[in-house]
Amino acid sequence: MSTTTEEPTTDPFTEQAFRETLRELPPSAKLVAKVLQSGEPLSQGQLVEESLLPDRTVRYALNRLEECDLVDSRYSFSDARKQVYFLSV
């Protein structure tokens, strides 16, 4: 029987660290992060509509945000074919 205790998960980023990481990213990633700050998970299509950026640019921005662990994704509850994105901070 193992007696390991799991530490409570904490956000890897403080607000300051989040801003510093975001500062190094391209403007498209900053805009997508700003749109995601609403707190509601959004699909890529919804992000295109909200940000007014082209689909390809939103996809690039999401990839950059995911590389920096600023954005997470999961399958949509309403349509399992789609993924929704949300800030991991």
Q: The domain 15-87 is classified under which CATH number: 3.20.20.150, 1.10.10.10, 1.20.140.90, 3.40.50.720? A: 1.10.10.10
Question: Is the pLDDT assigned to residue 45 strictly greater than 90?
Answer: yes
Rounded to an integer, what distance in angstroms lies between the CA atom of residue 29 and that of residue 10?
A: 24
Question: What integer pLDDT is reported at residue 87 of this predicted model?
Answer: 94
The string of pLDDT tens digits covering residues 12-38 is 568 888 889 999 999 999 999 999 998
SS3 for 7? coil
Rounded to an integer, what distance in angstroms lies between the CA atom of residue 43 and that of residue 18?
A: 22
Domain-wise residue ranges, the chain: 15-87
Percent of the chain clearing pLDDT 90 (strictly above): 72
Question: Is the pLDDT assigned to residue 6 strictly greater than 50?
Answer: no
Question: What integer pLDDT is reported at residue 3 of this predicted model?
Answer: 47
Name which of 80, 77, 47 is nearest 62 in CA terms.
47
Place of tokens 């900053």: 30
Q: How many CA atoms lie within 13 A of 66 on its CB side?
A: 12
Question: What integer pLDDT is reported at residue 12 of this predicted model?
Answer: 54
| Overall pTM surpassing 0.85 (yes/no) | no
Largest Cα separation within the chain, whole Å, is 55
